[in-house]
Amino acid sequence: MNFLTFVDLHDNKKALKELIVRASKDDVDFIVCGGDISNFGRGLIDVLEAFQKLGKKMYIIPGNHEELNDFGQILSHFPVCVNLHKQALEVDDYVFLGYGGDGFSQEDPEFRKIAREWYGKYNGKKILLMLHGPPFGTKTDWFADRFVGNKDYRNFIERVKPKLVLCGHLHENAGVIDEISGVKIVNPGWEGMVIGLK
């Protein structure tokens, strides 16, 4: 299965048009979005409406720019949009795990609690992990001469070994790909990437 993934669009109209064109192609089965599609809520409805018209399923988490809104309530008006935030959903033979918001903390007790539940239920399964902020200690979280990502995310990745991790938040690292213990970490940026899962 192939999907288009993107993050940090921030209501960029030109980039949105290009994403819609790419997502409409036959080789894209669905869309995965890592948040920050708006500017502190501005433009959120426009972006969601554009993907609703496209008609393909979109799995989405909020970024820190969507934390001011009732994100789940807004998404409920767009049937193609599936709120993946703090959720685990089976998509074909994969389990999609999503955790959005923030992006600034190096530790997250709430994530640790959810991660323990996920580890107990899904360890050993094929997992796609969608985060807004990057995990600690990779090229995806290198900023101003230091690593600024989340250490709890990294610990979970090292324990559960997902097949793929998607993240964003740091615009400077859009398009960057790295690894943690053999697990690919991808920041697809606002231009997006088409990724295939086997």
**pLDDT at position 56, please?**
98
| pLDDT on residue 198 | 87
The total domain count for the chain is 1
Give the residue numbers spanning the domain of 45. Answer: 2-196
pLDDT at residue 68, rounded to an integer = 65
The CATH number linked to 135 is 3.60.21.10
CB atoms within 10 A of CB 122: 16
Q: What is the pTM of this model?
A: 0.97
CA–CA distance, 187 with 5 (Å, rounded to integer): 9
pLDDT, block means (10 residues), the chain with 198 residues: 97 98 98 96 95 98 88 94 97 97 95 97 97 98 97 98 98 98 98 96
